[in-house]
Chains A and B, each alone.
Chain A
Amino acid sequence: MAMNPRDVPYTREEVYEWLLEYNGRIRDTKKLREYLEQKLSEKEGFDPAAMVNTTGHDNLPNETSVVDMIIMDLDSYGFDKRD
């Protein structure tokens, strides 16, 4: 069952640190995705393929992966998929 958007047990602060760490590496969404999945898997009991309930999003399917939610929101961290 998909988690509600605010129930994902990671915060932007953690992701921000990961992105700082990743900055300067290969500019490739696939590589970034692998990197984020690896980071997400570090928390015990958390499935990096976990899905988020996105029924409230009119432009997304009913469920979206956590990694996709991060990648779609990269701009707001001050990073860009092109960085």
Chain B
Amino acid sequence: MASTSATDKTIVAKGQGFEGGVNIRDAITQLNPNECRRLENGVLDERGGFSKRLGCKGKGTFGVATDRVLSSYTFYKAGSVPQVIIHVSDGRVLYTNDPTADPVVWSVVATGQSTTEPFSFETFNSKCYMGNGVNDYASWDGTTRVAYPSAPKGKYLRLYKDTMWISGIAATPDRVWSSAPGDAETFPISGWVDIAKGDGDQVMALATDGLYLIVGKRNRAMVIYDPVTFANRVVDFEKGFESHFGVAQFEGAIFYVTRRGICMWLGDSPSRVVSGKIDPLFDPNILNLGALNRSWAYTYENRIGWALAEIGSQTPTFQLEYYPRLMGKDNQAPFAFQRMPAANFTRWRYQANELLFAFHSGNNKVLQAFSDVGTDDGQVFTTIAETGALDFDRPTVTKYLRYMRMLGRGQFNLLMLRNFRIDIYKTFVVDMVSSLDAWNPTDLWGEGSWGPNVLLKEVRVHPDGYVRFLTLRFTDSDPDTGSKNVPVGSADYLLPAGEWAIYGYNLDATILGVRD
């Protein structure tokens, strides 16, 4: 419920923003005032506000229409343009030196590789190493690939203490191999250890927090804390890892996908589930739990995202985003959903560019996510933010809604639903679009847009409605983009942003009394 002040008959309710993110766990009447029942295709880029996201720009194709990217990686090499490397379902590993080109031009690293098992990649000693559990472990220095048939053919690679660690061979599901220290191409013959051998589980991910090598099985997590003797111990007895590719480091912490939600690694203590507000999502009737091993993590701007597959799909169908920097007083940070047509991602930074590349889940296209476009590869998408059921602290009486003021930018639709019904009670087109040609001295009277103009606007609508409980739905599917203003002292910067944003709303209502 929004905060209210009331006299006997009048209620003035102030919305408390959207910084609580989405909450699908609590009953609709129990949501915090700053939480939403639905939150999709938008970003919490300004605390308390909610903006439509930018779209995905097509950057050409690779292979033929049926090809998909199994895994992707950005290979950084000092003094060189970082390469984007992709493992494609036709068995090729491709690279490009310029992912900003349109279309992106791909060259071949290798052919004849697995068409189903994604390569895991790691960079060490200016080389990119790759392994997928099927093909030979190999290195790539940017121009030449070298295979090491004698190295363990593991699915998962992780660099820890200047050593390459490998795991994920089907015949020995508990085993982790170590390279020689400082040399990812030489493997000592007894450089292996079984972690909880024969426990019926299997290694699903390797990760590191710098101190330990984290060995994640499906049902629990262990660490190797001594790279010399391979001494190890259990850290978490009941929360395992589902995906090697679903591990992300952000703000000094490690976040990863488990069967029970998104977890934050706490080092010596069992991990903390941070996704309590979206608990129902991790249900086999919603997510394809069997495909969690293909969930894919990315970090971008102020958030971490995971591409996840819904039931009936083997490849990710939506993204779950988490904002650790927007941690609230309740020690919980918000989540929101995205529906970009992308299965996996890689972030690429070079000189002034920091871009997030995505690979289409339904065709062979390369995408630039959160690019300066308003569609996803030419397809419009719908953004939605829907509050819980607001009762103005007067749940038993009917209220007459007199006015509603909104602060925001751009244009969207405001839909009102009442008393838990699913039909739309009231619809308003909210137009807060800024005109760019204001005060143009060459304009004649009556032409163009005149008068002072601001990026932020406030509009008032007259709902003229009767409700006990009110749900607000802000939505649109317009293909345009917008701008947001970031003040840096005396200078203002206009940044590309989604077409609209809502920063706050106030409601003015009158209590009518109890009605049937």
Interface positions of A (Cβ within 8 A of B): 3-8, 10-17, 52-53, 55-59, 64, 66, 69-70, 73, 75-78
Contact = CB atoms under 8 A, between A and B. Distances in A.
A14 B232 CA distance: 28
Nearest to B170: A75
B254 to A, nearest CB: 23
A5 B150 contact: no
B194 A10 contact: no
B202 to A, nearest CB: 14
A5 to B, nearest CB: 5
Nearest to B151: A12
B229 interface: yes
B190 A66 contact: yes
B193 A57 contact: yes
B192 A73 contact: yes
Given A6-B178, A57-B230, A16 B150 contact: yes
Contacts of A69: 189-190, 192
A13 to B, nearest CB: 4
Nearest to A50: B190
A35 B194 CA distance: 25
B149 interface: yes
A5 B188 contact: yes
Interface string B137-162: 00000000000111111000000000
Interface stretch (B179-187, B330-338, B398-406, B454-462): B179-187
A76 B177 contact: yes
Contact of A7 (B188, B198, B230): B188
Contacts, number: 97
B231 interface: yes
Nearest to A9: B188
B416 to A, nearest CB: 61
Most interface-central of A4, A6, A66 (chain B CB within 10 A) = A6
Interface residues of B, number: 33
A76 B172 contact: yes
Contacts of A16: 149-150
Nearest to B150: A16
A76 B194 CA distance: 13
Contacts of B172: 73, 75-76
A8 B189 contact: yes
A7 B181 CA distance: 10
Contact of A15 (B150, B181, B192, B228): B150
B188 A56 contact: no
Contacts of A59: 194, 197-198
B12 interface: no
B196 interface: yes
Determine the main DSSP class of B at the interface with A.
loop
Given A53-B229, A57-B230, A15 B189 contact: yes
A50 to B, nearest CB: 10
Given A55-B231, A75-B169, A76-B175, A5 B191 contact: yes
B354 interface: no
A12 B188 contact: yes
A69 B232 CA distance: 18
Contacts of B229: 4-5, 53, 55-56
Contacts of A11: 150, 180, 186-189
Closest 6 pairs (CB-CB, A-B): A16-B150, A56-B230, A69-B190, A75-B171, A12-B187, A59-B197
B156 to A, nearest CB: 14
Nearest to A60: B194
26 contacts: A5-B191, A5-B192, A5-B228, A6-B181, A6-B188, A10-B189, A11-B180, A11-B187, A11-B189, A12-B150, A12-B187, A12-B189, A16-B149, A17-B150, A52-B190, A56-B193, A56-B224, A57-B197, A57-B230, A58-B196, A64-B190, A66-B189, A69-B192, A73-B192, A75-B172, A76-B177
Contacts of B180: 6, 11
A77 B151 CA distance: 7
B238 interface: no
Interface in B225-265: 226, 228-232
Given A6-B178, A76-B177, A56 B231 contact: yes
A78 B153 contact: yes
Contacts of B181: 6
A57 B188 CA distance: 16
Nearest to B186: A11
A65 to B, nearest CB: 10
A6 B179 CA distance: 8
A76 B168 CA distance: 10
Given A11-B187, A56-B229, A73-B189, 17 more contacts: A6-B178, A6-B228, A12-B189, A13-B186, A13-B187, A16-B149, A16-B150, A55-B229, A55-B231, A57-B193, A58-B232, A59-B197, A73-B175, A73-B190, A73-B192, A76-B171, A76-B175
A70 B228 CA distance: 18
Nearest to B198: A59
A58 B150 contact: no
Contacts of B151: 12
Nearest to A11: B186
Contacts of A64: 190
Contacts of A8: 188-190
Contacts of B224: 56
A53 B230 CA distance: 10
Contacts of B194: 57-59
